Amino acid sequence: MAEKVTPRDVDYSRWYTDIVLQGKLADYSPVKGAMVIRPNGYAIWELIQSNLDRLFKETGHVNAYFPLLIPESFMQKEAEHVEGFSPECAVVTVGGGKKLEENLYIRPTSETIIWAMYKKWINSYRDLPLLINQWANVMRWEMRTRLFLRTSEFLWQEGHTAHETYEEAEEETRKILNVYQKFAEEYLAIPVIPGRKSEAEKFAGAKHTYSIEAMMQDMKALQAGTSHNLGQNFAKAFDVQFQDKEGKLQYVWATSWGVSTRLIGALIMAHSDDRGLVLPPKMAQRPIVMVPIWRGEDQKQEVLDYADGVLKELKAKYNVIFDDRDQYKPGYKFSEWELQGIPLRLEIGPKDVAKNALVMVRRDTMEKQFVNRDGILQTVETALDTMQKEMLERARNFQQENTFDVDDYDTFKEIVNGKGGFIRAHWCGNPECETKVKNDTKATIRNIPFDQKKEAGKCLICGGASDGRVIFAKAY
Partner RNA sequence: CGGGGCGUAGCGCAGUCCGGUUAGCGCACCUGCCUUGGGAGCAGGGGGUCGGAGGUUCAAAUCCUCUCGCCCCGACCA
- The H-assigned helical ranges of 279-430 are 296-315, 330-339, 350-355, 376-401, 409-417
Size of the site for RNA (CB under 7 A): 53
Among 74-82, 112-120, 165-173, 346-354, which window interacts with RNA (CB under 7 A)?
346-354
Residues in the chain: 476
3-state secondary structure 190-241: CCEEEEECCHHHCCCCCCEEEEEEEECCCCCEEEEEEEEEEECHHHHHCCCE
Q: For RNA, which residue of 89, 116, 117, 149 counts as binding (CB under 7 A)?
A: 149
d(CA 364, CA 476): 24
12 near RNA, rule: CB under 7 A = no
Q: From the CB of residue 58, how many other CB atoms can be counted at a distance below 10 Å? A: 9
49 near RNA, rule: CB under 7 A = no
Which 256-275 residues touch RNA, going by CB under 7 A?
Answer: 260-262, 275
Show the site string, 211-250: x = touches RNA by CB under 7 A, - = not.
------------x--x------------------------
Q: For RNA, which residue of 12, 125, 251, 332 counts as binding (CB under 7 A)?
A: 332
**Closest to RNA by CB, 200 or 465:** 200
Q: Quote the longest CA-to-CA distance of the chain.
A: 85
28 near RNA, rule: CB under 7 A = yes
**Closest to RNA by CB, 156 or 427:** 156
Show the site string, 286-325: x = touches RNA by CB under 7 A, - = not.
-------xxxx---x-------------------------
Which 191-210 residues touch RNA, going by CB under 7 A?
Answer: 203
331 CB-near residues (< 8 Å, 6+ apart): none
DSSP code for 356: T
Q: For RNA, which residue of 7, 71, 330, 464 counts as binding (CB under 7 A)?
A: 330
359 near RNA, rule: CB under 7 A = yes
CB 156 within 8 A of CB 259: yes
Q: How far is the CB of 121 from RNA (least distance, A)?
A: 27
**Closest to RNA by CB, 28 or 125:** 28
Considering Cα of 20, then 21, then 23, then 25, what sign does the dihedral take? positive
382 CB-near residues (< 8 Å, 6+ apart): none
Among 81-89, 91-99, 428-436, 465-473, which window interacts with RNA (CB under 7 A)?
81-89
418 near RNA, rule: CB under 7 A = no
Q: If 0-12 CB within 10 Å is exposed, 13-18 middle and 19+ buried, where does residue 308 land?
A: middle
Q: From the CB of residue 209, how many other CB atoms can be counted at a distance below 10 Å? A: 25
378 near RNA, rule: CB under 7 A = no
Q: From the CB of residue 164, how many other CB atoms can be counted at a distance below 10 Å? A: 17
Q: From the CB of residue 328, how many other CB atoms can be counted at a distance below 10 Å? A: 12
338 near RNA, rule: CB under 7 A = yes
Where on the chain is the footprint of RNA (CB under 7 A)?
Answer: 1-2, 4, 13, 28, 32, 84, 87-88, 140, 142-144, 149-152, 154, 203, 223, 226, 260-262, 275, 293-296, 300, 326-332, 334-336, 338-339, 347-353, 359, 361, 366, 368
